[in-house]
Chains A and B, each alone.
Chain A
Amino acid sequence: MERDLATPVTSLRRAGRQGFFPYLFLAPAVALLLALTVYPLLYIVRISLYRLTPAGETFVGGENFLRLVRDPFFFQSLGQTFLLMAGALTLEFFFGLALALLLDSEIRARGLWRALLLLPMILPPVVVGVIWRLIYNPNFGVLNGALQLLGVDTTRLTWLADPSVALAALVVVDVWEWTPFVFLILLAGLQAIPEEPYEAARIDGSSAWQTFRHITLPLLAPAILVALLLRTMDLLRLFDQVFILTQGGPGFATETISLYIYKTAFRFFDFGYAAAMSLVLLVATLIVSRFYLGFLQKKERPT
């Protein structure tokens, strides 16, 4: 560059270019975000105020939300979703943590175990649903078959067909499929913990439990929170397994909120009411995520 770069014209051009190009590079991402996230969100807010069917739309104000407050099925499906989430989250956390601790230590064929553990997560959820539908089949499923070999009378064990058991059966499927995910994140978290605090603890004569309680757990907390947050958001919109395994039945016993929203929107084509329910679910998800993120920030601040 031999030219004098300090002349006003060049610097202006330069400034213009500098101002223009970064935005140009950002534009596709911003456009995508606007088109795929912001616009649909605003659109959902709009249609939640309408009675919107393929035949046309009528402005109804807050009627969809009033209907929602009076809809026992909405609250039942929301309650069942949270119940399912609480059960699955607890079990996935404990199993995931136990497996991560086990496979973080020096055991034989560690690589093989790790690979095997990831298998359920790699399967498409639809396949998982179909597999478990066959496992749970009361007449020729492998679960009742195995129980019969053990001498159990299985005539009344109908799993997905029993309203008091079906939800728990869905929890088992989710735990089977997603514990590996929690395990993977926690294992990565464990391996990121430096060796020094453990050495210090050993020198100070801390017991295994004390080491776990005061070193491993606090240092693993960010990973735990990330894993639980991701699973929480997934579980709140659990759909595919329920759709394949029970369709929300028997009765209404396993209807999750996302299945109810789906039916309202795509079977009954009542988009306005479905939008209103989606918004409530969004707010619920935001509240739960805030709770997690609050924890995460509190954990990160002192260090």
Chain B
Amino acid sequence: MKRRQITGRNFVLPLCLFAAAVLVFFGCRGERGEAEPTLLVAVNAGVEADSLKQAVADYQRQFGVRVQVVEYPYQSLFEKIIIALSGPNTNYDLVMLDDPWFPRFAQMGGLLELTSLYQAKNLSGPDADFIEPCLALGRYPYRQGRLYALPYVGNTQLFFYRRDLFEKYHLPPPRTWDEVLATGRRIGSREKMYGYVMRAAQGNPIVADFMPLLWAFGGRLLDDEGRPVVNRPEAVAALEFMLRLAEIVPPGYVNFNADEVGAHLSQGTAVMGINWPAWIPTFEDPARSKMVGKIGYTTVPSQKQPGASAIGNWLLAIPRGSRNGARAFDFLLWVTSQEQMRLSALRGNPPTRKSIFEDQELIARFPAYPVQYQALLGSRPRPRSPVWNEIENTFGTYLSQAHAGIYSPREALERANRDLEQLLQRWNATSPPQ
């Protein structure tokens, strides 16, 4: 009896304390939230984030506006953004997105349209200094549509080769894929190294390395009406060629990603390979590379069609649910301005502005800039589809199966085409094209 009474009373005090703690906690939060708004930016962890964090410190000094950079690894960044864009409100005021993700985010109506924000500032739109293939990525539909994002980092694939060895054998840099295979065989066997290195891990890596081949052989992934056409003879020829190329590639390449390709090139175990320009500083750093000064870079080889590399830009956009849209736009304009992008370039990010690629001081510092600029101008985007992730996964799975010897190239591409058709039918059935 007595015990129960005491238990009851003892329970009241902790309960009151707990309630008080809850009140204090939420009270404090409320008060802090009403103070000067801090802009929250979600970005990819890596060199992009490092550069942005330095810019943010400058911005706060100049304008007194606090900007907080939140870094996520590549894969989780996509998840964070799509969840942030799904609801009516989000804490993020600016998001950094990989350009193949953009159509999805734009299609679901999650991003603020930028033209009206420009007009509010009496500006007609982005200035003409932006490189056209980069700016086109932020429009939905591609190139002609409305503008939802600005390009911040101007990556595009480059073709890397051992300049010293090509000079030793009096060979020009390879201009066609046939030359890649022939010189790779020849130099590889003479020098006891792998003639070529590619990344063929399932999903994004294998598709990114296959696209330049597919385009060079005259193939496409989707036609103008958005129908899959990967079972055409050009595509089959491209995949058959990729398998021949695989004969001079290090074993285990079907699990390779950009890291392994970079490692083989910087350690001098492979003659050639495609990779992102972000790897150049690594190749030229004596602490991380045995091949300093020996690696040359050029544009992606041609075959039946002129060579084209896949563009892979980082874009910046404002979520529709942001509570500080106008302030975020101020920051977006500032951070993509000529002056700021020059600083970003010095911090290691390829720019998206013509003036910076043509800046003599920067060219002296980054000798690859003319090649990168040329590659960007000749680059092609991966298909602008809201379901790109599914397309890439399906296509990548079958490409990977062809490399693993499970299907012949023709069979793999027939199956891929059939699955892609189903996938797109399912998508179109529920989401009418805009």
Residues facing B in A1-40 (CB within 8 A) are 1, 5, 14, 17-18, 21, 24
The docked-state distance in angstroms from the alpha carbon of A138 to that of B256 is 11
The docked-state distance in angstroms from the alpha carbon of A252 to that of B11 is 57
Residues facing A in B371-416 (CB within 8 A) are 387, 389-390, 393, 397-398, 400-401, 403-406
Residues of A within 8 A of B389 (CB): 267-268
Is A91 part of the binding interface, using a Cβ–Cβ cutoff of 8 Å? Answer: no
A156 touches B251 (CB 8 A): yes
The docked-state distance in angstroms from the alpha carbon of A162 to that of B253 is 10
How many residues of chain A are within 8 Å of chain B by beta carbon?
38
B82 touches A269 (CB 8 A): yes
Is B282 part of the binding interface, using a Cβ–Cβ cutoff of 8 Å? Answer: no
Is A285 part of the binding interface, using a Cβ–Cβ cutoff of 8 Å? Answer: no
Which single member of A14, A67, A248, A270 contacts B202 (CB below 8 Å)?
A: A248
The docked-state distance in angstroms from the alpha carbon of A17 to that of B75 is 53
Residues facing B in A82-96 (CB within 8 A) are none
CB distance from A254 to the nearest CB of B (A): 10
Is A158 part of the binding interface, using a Cβ–Cβ cutoff of 8 Å? Answer: yes
The docked-state distance in angstroms from the alpha carbon of A64 to that of B430 is 13
Is A118 part of the binding interface, using a Cβ–Cβ cutoff of 8 Å? Answer: no
Residues facing B in A137-157 (CB within 8 A) are 137-139, 155-156
Residues of B within 8 A of A155 (CB): 251
The docked-state distance in angstroms from the alpha carbon of A21 to that of B12 is 11
Is A302 part of the binding interface, using a Cβ–Cβ cutoff of 8 Å? Answer: no
The docked-state distance in angstroms from the alpha carbon of A1 to that of B3 is 11
Q: Which of A67, A158, A161, A270 has the most CB of B within 10 A?
A: A161
Q: Given A249-B201, A253-B404, do A263 and B393 touch, yes or no (CB 8 Å)? A: yes
CB distance from B63 to the nearest CB of A (A): 33
Q: Given A1-B1, A250-B400, do A268 and B387 touch, yes or no (CB 8 Å)? A: yes
A55 touches B202 (CB 8 A): no
Residues of B within 8 A of A162 (CB): 404
Is A194 part of the binding interface, using a Cβ–Cβ cutoff of 8 Å? Answer: no
A5 touches B1 (CB 8 A): yes
A55 touches B252 (CB 8 A): no
The docked-state distance in angstroms from the alpha carbon of A142 to that of B397 is 29
The docked-state distance in angstroms from the alpha carbon of A144 to that of B69 is 42
Interface of A is mostly: loop
CB distance from B31 to the nearest CB of A (A): 28
CB distance from B389 to the nearest CB of A (A): 5
Is B78 part of the binding interface, using a Cβ–Cβ cutoff of 8 Å? Answer: yes
Is B115 part of the binding interface, using a Cβ–Cβ cutoff of 8 Å? Answer: no
The docked-state distance in angstroms from the alpha carbon of A268 to that of B8 is 52
Is A189 part of the binding interface, using a Cβ–Cβ cutoff of 8 Å? Answer: no
The docked-state distance in angstroms from the alpha carbon of A226 to that of B343 is 60
Residues of B within 8 A of A160 (CB): 252, 255
A139 touches B400 (CB 8 A): no
- Among B103-111, B131-139, B184-192, B208-216, the stretch that binds chain A is B103-111
CB distance from B418 to the nearest CB of A (A): 11
The contact string, 1 if C-beta is below 8 Å from chain B, for chain A 236-247, is 000000000011
A21 touches B7 (CB 8 A): yes
Q: Given A247-B201, A267-B78, A268-B393, do A161 and B387 touch, yes or no (CB 8 Å)? A: no
Is A58 part of the binding interface, using a Cβ–Cβ cutoff of 8 Å? Answer: yes
CB distance from B126 to the nearest CB of A (A): 27
B401 touches A51 (CB 8 A): no
Residues of A within 8 A of B104 (CB): 269
Q: Given A267-B78, A268-B393, do A18 and B4 touch, yes or no (CB 8 Å)? A: yes
Residues of A within 8 A of B405 (CB): 163
A21 touches B401 (CB 8 A): no
Q: Given A54-B110, A267-B393, do A251 and B2 touch, yes or no (CB 8 Å)? A: no
CB distance from B131 to the nearest CB of A (A): 29
**Shortest 8 CB-CB distances between A and B: which pairs?**
A249-B202, A251-B401, A138-B252, A54-B86, A158-B252, A161-B252, A250-B254, A250-B404
Residue pairs across A and B with Cβ atoms less than 8 A apart, 18 shown, are: A1-B2, A21-B7, A21-B8, A21-B11, A24-B11, A54-B108, A139-B250, A139-B252, A163-B401, A163-B404, A163-B406, A250-B254, A250-B255, A251-B400, A251-B406, A252-B401, A267-B389, A269-B82
Measuring CB to CB, which residues of chain B are less than 8 angstroms from any residue of chain A?
A: 1-2, 4, 7-8, 11, 75, 78-79, 82-83, 85-86, 104, 107-110, 201-203, 250-255, 269, 387, 389-390, 393, 397-398, 400-401, 403-406, 426, 430-431
Measuring CB to CB, which residues of chain A are less than 8 angstroms from any residue of chain B?
A: 1, 5, 14, 17-18, 21, 24, 51, 53-55, 58, 67, 137-139, 155-156, 158-163, 246-253, 263, 266-270
